[in-house]
Amino acid sequence: MILADLTAYLTERKRAPLMDMALRFETSEDALRGMLAALERKGRVRRIANGAACSSGCCKCDQASVETYEWVGATSPPSVVGSPAA
C-alpha cells in the first residue's frame, strides 16, 4: 500500500476508523498511523476525538476505543507545480 491508496480511500469515504483501514489494506495499525501522521502534517486528515461515531453507524464498537480519521483535504489531487498549461 502506498500513501495514494490511503488518500483515495479517505477521500471516497470521508471518515474511517483505523481498525477498518487496517483490515482494508491488510496492514498494521501502527504502519497506518505513520502514514496518517504524514497526511495530518499536510492538513489533509484529522484525527477525530475518541467517542466520535464512524461513518458506518452500526454502534457495535466501544466508541471510547475507536480511533477515527476524517478527510479534510482537497477532493482532487493538487496540480503539479511547473507543469505546462493545457
pLDDT at 83: 45
- From first to last of its 86 residues, what are the pLDDT tens digits of the chain? 689 999 999 999 999 999 999 999 999 999 999 999 999 999 999 999 765 555 555 555 555 558 999 999 876 554 444 545 54
pLDDT at 61: 56
pLDDT at 43: 95
Domain boundaries, the chain: 3-71
> 3-state SS string over 70-81?
EECCCCCCCCCC
pLDDT at 73: 85
- pTM score, whole prediction: 0.70
Fold of 3-71: Arc Repressor Mutant, subunit A (1.10.10)
Angle (deg, nearest 10), helices 3-13 and 18-25: 130
